């Protein structure tokens, strides 16, 4: 199910969405998985004294952090550096990749183990490292499966939720030479054994980061499997690649945000491991990496920051809740988006990261139902931002044929005689419509491809009203 990436984004989206919506069995599987998510999440939400107030508080924390981003990043840098960590500020993907590559060269690294990092996907880190001859292994089970499948994650929290166990069994048999099985537990143990070897040998561990703690100079990583703990615990160098917007002011803010992330993300009270890393191995400690580098990634986040109206999109804690409740995501699936960040939040932020005109179609692919906004644990106004993207795209670059249609519409609606002629002509037009139905000449082809066109009434409302009055008299 690879995406057709060589096409322009808008065309790729339409092509892939058409294909994936036709794949009914896979849609059913995704719907079932997301149904289970909804049940679990609902149950955990109910244990809160007030989930709505907790959302407001979480939104306040992120508002404070994002609206004083420079102050808190400076504070983080100062605290983290004082504890022996190294901070690198990267304007873009190329700089971040180059820094990590330089580090690997300088330290004579041979083997790299990675835990889940969407920032890594964002800047295409693995291909860059592999091109230079480094072996890079994804250690999160879902990410490993996607790496072996040679396709990007389907969902930024559940990377391989679209695959069936049979497909994963075949994949492991083919790529890892394992015995045939479709048992999820056996499959997980195959991956465990395979990865343990890599953890023992890797000399660099690369992770992402869920939160940057300014007050104490720490990176907080949330996971369920323990692979990030091994990534940050065993190799002699740990690199965390983190977006600048991930900052929170205080360590204790995590006492709110960690349960919120778990509840909204997976319906857990707390995810399996929530770990705060505050530097490399300290004097007196018996293990841990000799070096800990944090790469702070901008990569156009400051462009989104400059849009005050949509700045709250940087509050996102990447829980994936907006994807899980989105009717569009449920039907087209994660790959059709063609983005690192799928679903509603991806549709909001990708135009800022990669160009509004190329990615505005994502903001159009929404019914504006607002389920995403309701689900968001930090209260990002997601569906209004989709609307704003549409407005901004048109304001920036007018579409000639849309303007023409609207001009014609205005002209028609302002002239009663023209309108009445149009109404009379409608049944005639409909009578000849079957001759062009579905062809290039069909003006409503996009509609009739999947739906019936409503029939014009035999009598217009005007006529009906006049006749009715005549009868009464």
Interface positions, 329-388, toward other proteins (CB under 8 A): 379, 381, 384
Q: Exactly one of 13, 134, 156, 158 binds other proteins (CB under 8 A); which one?
A: 158
Shortest spacing between CB 173 and other proteins, in angstroms: 15
CB of 380 to other proteins, least distance (A): 8
* Binding characters for other proteins, 30-59, by CB under 8 A (x = yes): ---x--xx---------xxxxx-xx-xxxx
The residues near 363 (Cβ < 8 Å, ≥ 6 apart) are 347, 348, 351, 386, 387, 389, 390, 393
Among 297, 308, 197, CA closest to 246: 297
Cα 258 to Cα 276: distance, rounded to the nearest angstrom: 11
Tokens representing residue 8 in the block: 């322009």
What is the size of the binding site for other proteins (CB under 8 A)? 114
SS3 call for 348: helix
C-alpha to C-alpha distance for 267 and 217, rounded to whole angstroms: 29
DSSP 55-69: HHHHHHHHHHHHTTH
Residue in this structure with the two tokens 């890079």, named with its chain if needed: 136
Residues from 403 through 462 that contact other proteins (CB under 8 A): none
Residue 445: phi and psi, rounded to 5, are -55, -40
Minimum separation from the CB atom of position 187 to other proteins (A): 6
Q: Does the protein bind other proteins through residue 83 (CB under 8 A)?
A: yes
Binding residue (CB under 8 A) for other proteins from 17, 90, 104, 206: 90
CA distance 363 to 350: 10
Give least dist CB 196 to other proteins, A.
Answer: 7
Of 95, 111, 331, 388, which lies in the binding site for other proteins, with binding defined by CB under 8 A? 95
Task: Please tell me what DSSP assigns to residue 282.
Answer: P
Stretch in the footprint of other proteins (CB under 8 A) among 85-93, 394-402, 408-416, 456-464: 85-93
Restricting to residues 191-210, which ones interact with other proteins according to CB under 8 A? 191-192, 195-196, 200
Query: Is 63 a residue that touches other proteins (CB under 8 A)?
Result: yes
Q: Which stretch binds other proteins (CB under 8 A): 18-26, 258-266, 386-394, 425-433?
A: 258-266
DSSP, res 162: T
Give me the 291-310 binding string for other proteins, x by CB under 8 A, dash otherwise: -x---x-x---x--xx-xx-
* Torsion over CA: 436, 440, 442, 444 (sign): positive
């Amino acid at each position: 199910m690879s995406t057709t990436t060589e096409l322009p984004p808008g065309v790729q989206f339409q092509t892939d969405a058409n294909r994936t919506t036709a794949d009914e069995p896979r849609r059913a599987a995704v719907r079932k998985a997301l149904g289970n998510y909804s049940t679990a999440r609902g149950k955990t939400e109910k244990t809160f004294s007030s989930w709505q107030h907790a959302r407001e508080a979480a939104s306040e924390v992120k508002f404070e952090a994002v609206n004083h981003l420079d102050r808190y990043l400076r504070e983080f840098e100062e605290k983290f550096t004082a504890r022996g960590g190294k901070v690198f500020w990267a304007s873009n993907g190329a700089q971040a990749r180059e820094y990590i590559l330089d580090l690997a060269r300088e330290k004579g690294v041979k083997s790299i183990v990675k835990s889940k990092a969407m920032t890594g996907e964002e800047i295409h880190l693995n291909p860059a490292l592999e091109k230079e001859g480094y072996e890079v292994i994804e250690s999160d089970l879902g990410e490993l499966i996607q790496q072996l499948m040679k396709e990007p994650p389907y969902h930024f929290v559940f990377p391989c939720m679209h695959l069936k166990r049979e497909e994963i069994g075949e994949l492991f048999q083919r790529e890892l030479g394992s015995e045939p099985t479709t048992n999820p537990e056996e499959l997980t143990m195959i991956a465990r054994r395979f990865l343990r070897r890599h953890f023992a040998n890797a000399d660099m561990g690369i992770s992402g980061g869920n939160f940057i703690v300014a007050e104490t100079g720490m990176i907080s990583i949330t996971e369920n499997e323990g692979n990030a703990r091994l990534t940050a615990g065993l190799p002699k160098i740990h690199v965390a690649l983190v977006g600048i917007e991930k900052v929170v002011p205080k360590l204790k803010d995590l006492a709110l945000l960690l349960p919120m992330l778990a509840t909204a993300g997976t319906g857990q009270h707390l995810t399996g491991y929530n770990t705060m890393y505050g530097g490399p191995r300290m004097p007196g400690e018996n293990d841990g990496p000799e070096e800990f580098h944090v790469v702070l990634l901008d990569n156009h986040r400051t462009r989104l920051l400059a849009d005050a109206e949509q700045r709250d999109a940087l509050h996102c804690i990447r829980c994936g809740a907006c994807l899980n409740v989105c009717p569009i995501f449920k039907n087209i699936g994660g790959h059709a988006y063609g983005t690192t960040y799928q679903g509603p939040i991806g549709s909001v932020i990708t135009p800022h990261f990669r160009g509004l005109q190329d990615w505005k179609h994502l903001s159009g692919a929404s019914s504006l139902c607002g389920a995403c906004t309701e689900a968001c644990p930090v209260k990002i106004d997601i569906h209004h931002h989709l609307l704003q993207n549409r407005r901004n795209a048109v304001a920036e670059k007018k579409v000639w044929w849309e303007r023409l249609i609207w001009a014609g519409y205005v002209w028609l609606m302002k002239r009663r005689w023209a309108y009445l002629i149009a109404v009379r002509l409608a049944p005639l037009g409909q009578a000849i419509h079957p001759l062009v139905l579905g062809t290039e000449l069909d003006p409503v082809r996009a509609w009739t491809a999947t739906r019936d066109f409503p029939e014009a009434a035999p009598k217009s409302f005007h006529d009906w009203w006049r006749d009715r009055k005549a009868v009464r008299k």
